[in-house]
Amino acid sequence: MCSAHAYNGQPICSGQTNVVVHLFEWKWADVASECSALAQLGYCAVQVSPPQEHAVLEDPGTGLPPYPWWQRYQPVSYALDSRSGSHQEFVNMVETCNDVGVYIYVDAVIQHMTGGQSGYGSSGSFYDGATEDYPGVPFSTDDFHKQQPDECTTSSGEIEDYSDAQQVRFCRLVGLRDLRTANDYVRDMLVEYLNTLVDIGVAGFRVDACKHTMPEDLEHLYTNMHDLPTRWFPAGSRPYVFQEVIYVGGDEPIRPEHYTHIGRVTEFRYSANIGNIFRGWDGQQLSYLEDFGEGWGFMDGLDAVVFIDNHDNQRGHGPGGDSVLTYKDDRLYKMATAFELAWPYGQPRVMSSFAFDDTEAGPPSDGNGNTYDVECFNGEWVCEHRWHQIENMVGFHNAALGTGMSHWRTISDNAIAFGREGTAFIVINNEDHEVSGDFETGMPDGEYCDVISCDGPTPPCNSCGSVTVSGGNAHITVPNDSDSMVAIHV
């Protein structure tokens, strides 16, 4: 490692929590308004969309909708002016959220710039992808990888074979102009961008497309980030980093473990497999979850960020295919997310989507691509993080944080129960019928409210479900309906 500062994989959270919610394509003002509620629910942090100036694609190509979601992933400069809001609105959001103990993790796009088109970005900067000219940074053609023996060796200049690590790291990803991240000047510009965000109060980063960047280049960037500001964080606190490294098995030479020494890594095998299990595909069933995580060949849980879906694979982009569960599979999605928040593996991230039929479409907006204010449950903004079966499981997760799994019980192939060493207990029913029985919970004696159907864990439960534990045991009935779970915690 370059220094004692090279490892940046310790989540930055306030209190006993580590749950991240991805408020995908929310405007900064809407995120700021949401943070107080997120704090009450026990969320640690918000992953926000890339805040840098991006391409504005009114006509992205034949058959594509105007202003697609992925224009945010085509940087034009590092000015903090995007369709989510202005620089000052970004600052206001960070300060508002930090003040209530919910921190901001920025989606950092630092591997590439735009595609081959030219135009003006969201802050008005001109760019020309064809000539690799980005005066808003500034970057010029010398700052990008070229078709030459020590860089990109394909005739197209594109990645053609993912089993060739050199192609993956030095050729273009779907036409995006690939930065020379080993170049000192490029590194300086990227570090300046990251430190601008850190100095504002951003607590961490989801780093995009890391498998396309050499680990030593990323390590240099992370090592040279500033400490977090002492206005909100203890002196010497380092920015948190988790890195997108797509891997679901096979012969790809670039793997998550190549990046875990410098930060956490997204565990895509979790998402792909959890979908198969809850769908019952490929012979999978819930009873197989007893050793889910390292027992399935995943990375060490202390290195992993886990999720049911993300903004890419919920659209069929990337690995997992049709097995990936999304908000459109609402019953299965609620169960799978409850499992994610109950299970002691990895740092959980919860998705909050906007509704889509076209997988390329951008967020709800007017005809000029101006994003609408968020109104949850209006048919446009899905807000899964506010579904009571999900938001109430954040408290379950936090109550059990730091404990292991205990009291596992396989009720049937697709009905399971497990506890968290006396702090929490859950039963999940994915059968086509009700399940009922007496369970050894390990919980202290008393009455508990079912957080799947109630607003909180402690009585009075009023008309929602309650569970009485006596001698550590409880009789629990779980229906086969939209709430096919019962969960209690201290």
Residues identified as active-site: 208, 244
**Cis status of the peptide bond prior to 479, with omega within 30 of 0:** no
Q: What residue ranges in 279-385 does DSSP mark as E strands?
A: 304-306, 347-352
- CA nearest neighbour of 57 among 48, 69, 47: 69
Closest Cα to residue 266, out of 293, 227, 234, 299? 299
Which residues have a Cβ under 8 Å from the Cβ of 356 and sit 6 or more positions away?
315
Query: Which residue in the block uniquely carries the two structure tokens 């410098």?
Result: 262
Amino acid identity of 271? S
Give all strands (DSSP E) within 44-121, no chain letters: 45-48, 103-108, 118-120
Q: How buried is residue 107: exposed, middle or buried, by Cβ count under 10 Å (0-12/13-18/19+)?
A: buried
| Amino acid at the residue 143 | D
| Token pair 């979850």: residue | 289
Would you state the structure tokens that stand for residue 336, as one six-digit string?
């799978």
Phi, then psi, of 266 in degrees rounded to 5: -70, 130
User: What is the residue type of 162?
Assistant: Y
Angstrom distance (rounded) from CA 132 to CA 107: 23
- Separation between Cα atoms, residue 477 and residue 490, nearest integer Å: 20
d(CA 17, CA 15): 6
The H-assigned helical ranges of 233-342 are 268-279, 330-342
AA letter at 314: Q
DSSP state of 251: S
Q: Which residue's structure tokens are 């299965």?
A: 332
CA–CA distances in Å: residue 250 to residues 153, 162, 253, 257: 23, 10, 9, 15
Would you mind telling me the total number of residues written for the chain in this entry?
490
Report how far apart, in Å, the C-alpha atoms of 131 and of each of 6, 73, 114, 337 are. 35, 19, 11, 45
Cis status of the peptide bond prior to 239, with omega within 30 of 0: no
Contact 105, 205 (CB under 8 A): yes
269 with 258: CB under 8 angstroms?
no
d(CA 340, CA 348): 7
Q: Beta-carbon neighbour count of residue 301 at 10 Å?
A: 16
